[in-house]
Structure 1
């Protein structure tokens, strides 16, 4: 059976152009081991499961070290590179800086291989099972529970990887078995968007303890300290919440932008009352909130700690990074500081979204606002963005024309530098490091999911304001609460609250798509600020400027199926449709 792994590798070469290469899969195990030896040894099986988690991408460095924020109206990437390919609209089915088709299908196949192997072989625990000592029996029970739970974790990861593909490409092939030499590739079809949503929702329902078998099939609510970072019941319900929010939104219920497309089932859900969809999304978010009593979910007291600590009651799922690092700081410390490259720089578009402390909008046409644009603003602005005059490592940041951190190599084009997720206490000269978990789900998102969905399904419900205001009540924020307003006004307030609360967490790019505002928000000027220092009195004059023109056309609502896939002989024979307008 030593050749089993080699045969799998041959099969992977044949399917690489369809669903991505897993040519490095063999690196998970010593090549001298048989499939049976791998699947029946506890330690080897544990390593396989840990490896399945590595498919979750680190959002700090996705596009040539640019965050996804730089592909939206949140930020500019100083070095531009592939991010600029995206922002200029010059990407397509052959050149896509965010083409993740191969990446996620490779991990989906790994999950399927693991699950099939787990069903085929039984882990050998005889050394503990046959030992009557109390300690051995405890180990035996613990390991049995681990093996059962690993399968649930794998199913969650498979659902999550499918979701990441669905939000980009629409209807995709649902893969629940590992492809092999015997697979008839010409029979593989893209599933409808509805089928894809149903698949992920059903998996999350079961793993979240809402299935017919309840607790028996559910993931744990919490783990002990030795197992932190593994997916929980809350993670399954949070994924369900996010997916059903997308499913209720405009994009997946509207085909008018793609008139004439012959396969609308790939981009639009089955006809259904929209209020019912929004109600389902609200219920899914409320399920996570209701779990908080057992899981301990609550907002951390300091907004500035987000992305800097692994353990927090606010975090539902993070992508953990092994060891402490400083790569993110080297890339994003303001230019002009030792080893700082100032790459991801917030936009004026984002800065303008932060309200005044009284809850009113910032307005450049207001002379008082324009003269002192950073005064009396939502505290989250200063906790997210380094602005002219901010203090950084005992130095005042100067982003005015001629300032120490502006007209230099890699100097900001927008007039701002990134603060969120950056550990300003690190000394890069002495190679200081710190934690950098990537937040995937946190309870603040769920509060906003609930508020948004409830406002659409049950306008006037008092819970809307309660949960729309939760993050604003944080101890280092304390923003004036959102008060009673019409459904339309609350819709815009909640959307803006998502924009500022979840900035740089890879939501904006997808929110503008699902709301179908991307053809306006992402098809306009990416803005910055020009600051002139008045030498006579040391005051400043601020002027909003255009940094570059961004391009977003309706076809970009969904990514194109990669050219390497759509032009594959088997895919062409199967009659796959490319996404609309590409």
Structure 2
């Protein structure tokens, strides 16, 4: 009797795990491959296991967030792997982002599930004439069919995560193992995007808008999630990076891997807008903007959330990001002055250090999302005001203290007593309605500038209850509206893993990711504070960094050409 023991490494792109570690251990100990693949109960566990390959953006290596590889933040641990993005010390042999293996692992797990989902043993129910057993049989058949489309959505999501990093990648839709020794070619970029959107269409037609049992099925993908992925994928496909290869990779021998060659750009913008609007129009799902912006990131059950990866109750994130002066705090991800300066004044005007009133009280009368996102000096936090000033409990002079003058507030549960081991729920939002509104506005502005919906949906984000920022000015032309939409994404979606990719697809990374990261020197003068912007770190961004390099070990086996300039 052969036990099922999956050995997973990415050799020639062909291997990965179908289950989480706990399930693997149980399988190895007691079940045959045939039992695992044909069991209804084990199949349910296996589809659940595929969700574990979704991103968990709260914690990368050493507790860092990807925001610290952008102009949003600096990670206080200088030896953290995320810093390699900022110094340029990453390459095809050493990449801090393990997305290549993780997403191909997820793809293989999805392929294996889909292939075996047609052979799940249901005779126990099917052959019993009892009405209750027949009812259970039909319900289980519906479950299996839905699981298959969940797996197809997840596979499409994993492919999107690869494409936005690497361009065209091999499309593998059947389970394959190392012994097959296939040499799989890369697919063209537009072929990959067409595959992703087609899978989203299929999933949207076969997944529910809402689940009747939303407790048991909380966190499962829905029709809304499939349409949201389609919207995001088409937005990326239409953006500058994938349509102007001559601007950043002239002479590259395989432009089909890094640019759209057969997809009309105007049509892509239009389809991206339509997909976003389809999510907006899902009445039954009852998506709505949350009136509690800070609370949105401390729950997994909110009408604004379209898809989230749930985590268990823990305090690891708080330990990683509490200010250094608090018990067990390690500072972690500290917001930049670059980001703080981007938040508007309460009246919608720009913040300006050259305005004396702004400099004297730089955090007064600002967009409320600033304080919701960034922990500011002298703000009450966990029983006392945070002391970001030089010499303060959380300021310069302390090991691992913030270099920027700020700490993270978004996602952080400030009430936890870490010494007593208190914990709380954490989740990582993958899609939410505010992003969809901004996707819709951006795509609409590109192919139908002047459409009234553009301003309407940006204003919906700005004027949500609890934020209440002024509406955009009337009469903005396409170029000015584009800048306002880009600005709104920066503010609304800060620390949600959008900035790293948005500035690449807009091709403004040299002036954003390559800009000097800034902070604030805060001096306490008898209870009053003096604020002075400072340079914190020189950052590096070169043209080749628009895409990741293919890992060299797999590149050599597959015999592909490397991505441009690496």
User: Which TM class, normalised by the smaller chain length?
Assistant: over 0.9
Distance in 2 (CA, whole Å) between partners of 1:394 and 1:228 is 34
Change (3 A) 1:41 1:272: closer
Cα distance, 1:27 vs. partner?
3.7
3-state SS of 2:362 partner = coil
Tell me how far 1:131 sits from its aligned partner. Answer: 4.0
Does the 8 Å CA contact 2:11/2:554 hold for their aligned counterparts?
A: no
Give secondary structure in 2 for the equivalent of 1:3: coil
Post-superposition Cα deviations, 1:3-42, rounded to whole Å, max 9, x if no partner, equal: 3735x64xx56x6353455496944624543332222221
Q: Which runs of 5+ in 1 are unaligned?
A: 210-217
Q: 3-state SS of the aligned residue for 1:29? A: helix
The answer for the alignment partner of 2:59 in structure 1 is 61
Distance 1:122 1:72 in 2: 46
Contact 1:168–1:558 (CA<8 Å) still a contact in 2?
Answer: yes
Question: How much does 1:405 deviate?
Answer: 0.9
Given candidates 482, 492, 510, the residue that maps to 2:483 is 492
Aligned match for 2:227, one of 237, 249, 256: 237
The answer for the alignment partner of 1:109 in structure 2 is: 108
Shift of 1:129: 3.4
Give 3-state SS (helix, strand or coil) of 1:551's partner: coil
- Segment drifting more, 543-552 vs 360-369: 360-369
User: How much has 1:543 moved relative to structure 2?
Assistant: 1.1
Q: Which residue of 2 aligns with 1:212?
A: none
The equivalent position to 1:278 in structure 2, one of 265, 269, 273, is 269
**Residues 122 and 428 from structure 1, CA distance in 2 versus in 1: closer, same or farther, beyond 3 angstroms?**
closer
Residue by residue, what CA displacement relative to the aligned partner does 1:187-246 show, whole Å, maximum 9, x if unpaired?
A: x1000000000000000011112xxxxxxxx11111112211111111111000000010
How far apart are residue 142 of structure 1 and its match? 1.8
**2:199 aligned with 1:172, yes or no?**
no
**CA shift digits 1:374-412 (9 cap, x unpaired):** 011000000000111111123111111111210212211
Q: Alignment length, in residue pairs?
A: 557
SS in 2 for 1:171: coil
Q: 360, 375, 387: which one pairs with 2:376?
A: 387
Does structure 1 residue 565 correspond to structure 2 residue 559? Answer: no
* Alignment match of 1:530 (pick from 498, 521, 527): 521
C-alpha contact (below 8 Å) 1:302/1:474 kept by paired residues: no
- Give the aligned partner of residue 93 of structure 2: 94
Q: Distance in 2 between matches of 1:21 and 1:311?
A: 31
Q: 1:489 to 1:556 in 2, by over 3 A?
A: same
Could you tell me which of 466, 482, 506 is aligned with 1:476? 466
Which residues in structure 2 correspond to 1:169-318 (within 5 Å)? 169-180=166-177, 183-186=180-183, 188-209=184-205, 218-223=206-211, 224=213, 225-256=215-246, 257-270=248-261, 272-291=263-282, 293-318=283-308
Secondary structure of the residue aligned to 1:483 is coil
Give yes or no for the alignment of 1:459 onto 2:454.
no
Is 2:354 the partner of 1:370? no
- 1:489 positional shift: 1.1
Match of 2:389 among 395, 400, 408: 400
Q: Please, what TM-score do these two structures have when normalized by structure 1?
A: 0.92
Matched, 1:579 2:563: yes
C-alpha distance 20-558 of structure 1, shift in aligned 2 (>3 A): farther
Partners of 1:504 and 1:208 lie apart in 2 by: 28
Q: Is the 8 A contact 1:19 1:101 kept in 2?
A: no
3-state DSSP of counterpart to 1:532: strand
Q: Supply the distance in 2 between the matched residues of 1:440 and 1:28 (Cα, whole angstroms).
A: 30
Give the aligned partner of residue 145 of structure 2.
148
Instruction: Describe the shift of the 1:182–1:394 C-alpha distance in structure 2 as closer, same or farther (beyond 3 A).
Output: closer
2:382 and 2:416 in contact (8 A); partners too: no
Residue pair 2:516, 2:539 contacting (<8 A) in 1 also: yes
* Matching of residues 442-457 of structure 1 within 5 Å: 442-457=432-447
Q: 1:21 to 1:182 in 2, by over 3 A?
A: closer
Go from structure 1 to structure 2 and tell me whether the alpha carbon gap of 1:205 and 1:428 turns closer, same or farther (over 3 Å shift).
same
Query: What is the rounded CA distance, in whole Å, between the counterparts of 2:306 and 2:515 in structure 1?
Result: 35
